[in-house]
Amino acid sequence: MDPFFDFTGKIALVTGGSRGLGLQMVRAFAERGADVIIASRKLDACEAVAEEVRAMGRRALAVSAHAAKWNEIDRLIETVYSEFGRLDILVNNAGMSPAMPSHDVTEELFDKVVGLNFKGPFRLASQVGKRMYDGEGGVIINVSSSGAIQPVPTIVPYGSSKAALNAMSRSLAAEYAPKVRVNTLSAGPFLTDIAKAWTPEMRESSNNIIGRPGRPDEVVTTALALASPRSSYITGAFWQADGGY
C-alpha cells in the first residue's frame, strides 16, 4: 500500500455513493483499506455497491437517505456512529443539476436543487464536523462544480447553490480547525449517468483546456489526495478536477 494513499482502518461515508463519481470514490477508498458507508435514496443500489466493497474484504454499510432532508440526514449520522463509532472521512457528493431557462424554474424545483446541493450538505457537514472535532478529527470533502465559477445559463440555481457550498467549505474549515480539514473538490463535466442526456458532441468534446469531458475514474486521485492523512496541511482549499476552466 502506498503510504500516501493508505486508508487502512479509516471509515468513509460517501453520499450519492451508488453511482457516478460517488461510486468511483467508494471503490477507491475501499481498494486502499477503508471501510465505507454508501448512502443514497435507493437502498438496493447502495446494497449492490456494499457487496462489492465486502468482496474486497472491507466492512460496508448501505443506508437509504435523502441527502436534502435533515431528519433523514440525522438518522444517517446516528446509524453510522452506532455501527462504526466514528467517522474519519465524509464526502458530500449527492447533487442535482436540472437544466432549464431561469424564468421557467418553479419554487418547488428551486427548493429541491438548493436543498440537495447546499442545505443538506450543510447539515451533514456541520453535524459530522462537530463530532469529528469532539473526537479524533477527520476530513470533509464537499463536491462542487465548475458551474459555480463560470456564468453558465439554464443552471443558475445549481451553480448558485454550488457557489454557496464553496463558501461553506472555507467557513467550516475555519470553524472546526485544526482537527477537521474541510476542502472543496470542484468537478467539471464527467461522463457519468447525466451524460446520457448529452448530445454526441458534448460527450466527445468540452470547452475546457483538455478539450473533453472526464472519465469518472479521473476524479479518484483528487479525492484520495484531499482525504489522505498525508495532506494534513491542506484545508479550506478549492481543488479543481475539471479539465481546466
User: What is the spatial order of strands in the sheet that 35-40 belongs to?
Assistant: 60-64, 35-40, 11-15, 89-92, 138-145, 180-187, 238-241
The answer to whether residue 133 is catalytic is: no
Residues 6+ apart with CB under 8 A from 20: 190, 192, 193, 194, 216
Local structure of 202: helix, strand or coil: helix
From 158, 176, 233, 245, the catalytic residue: 158
- Residue appearing with cell numbers 479525492: 223
DSSP string, 117-141: IIIHHHHHHHHHHHHHHHTT-EEEE
**Which ranges of the chain does DSSP label H, i.e. alpha helix?**
20-31, 43-55, 70-84, 107-114, 120-134, 156-175, 200-204, 220-227
**Per-residue cell: 155:** 443552471
Between CA 93 and CA 15 the distance in angstroms is: 5
Task: Give the C-alpha separation, 112 to 119, whole Å.
Answer: 10
Residue 245 near residue 146 (C-beta atoms within 8 A): yes
Task: Provide φ and ψ at 66, rounded to 5°.
Answer: -85, 115
Cell digits for 45? 443500489
- The residues annotated with a catalytic role in the active site are 158
